[in-house]
Amino acid sequence: MPINCDGKITLENLRVTTGASKTTSFRFVQQRYGDGYTARRQDGINPVIEVWDVSTPPMSVCDAEAFEQDLIKNSTGFFSWCAPNQSEATNWILDPISWDWSFDSTDFASLSFTLRRWYGS
């Protein structure tokens, strides 16, 4: 079941299906010592890694091709997106920079890809 699927989908107004899933992990450095003691600390100033696996709602093949051109144009860049259940937009990148097509019929397709929260500029 698509969420809010009115209008053409672009990176500026990205909407995803309800099957989207989020994975959160924490980056840390760990050191083990000979006496069995282990020390751990966070790695960097932004150690929380957020990753979303998302799919677009079904759209016409022409709209899917236009959305794919948005993805290609963005390539290694980042874009602003408000993830599900979040109140404000944050920056995201495609990681890896790849996507899959799913054809719901001969006239409709969905694209799926992975987004990772981006803290850079």
Cβ count within 10 A of residue 20: 16
- Amino acid at the residue 90: T
Q: Do 27 and 44 contact (CB within 8 A), yes or no?
A: yes
Give the CA count within 13 Å in the CB-facing half-sphere of 88.
1
Task: Give per-residue pLDDT as tens, 74-111.
Answer: 999 999 999 998 999 999 999 999 999 999 888 999 99
Reported pTM: 0.83
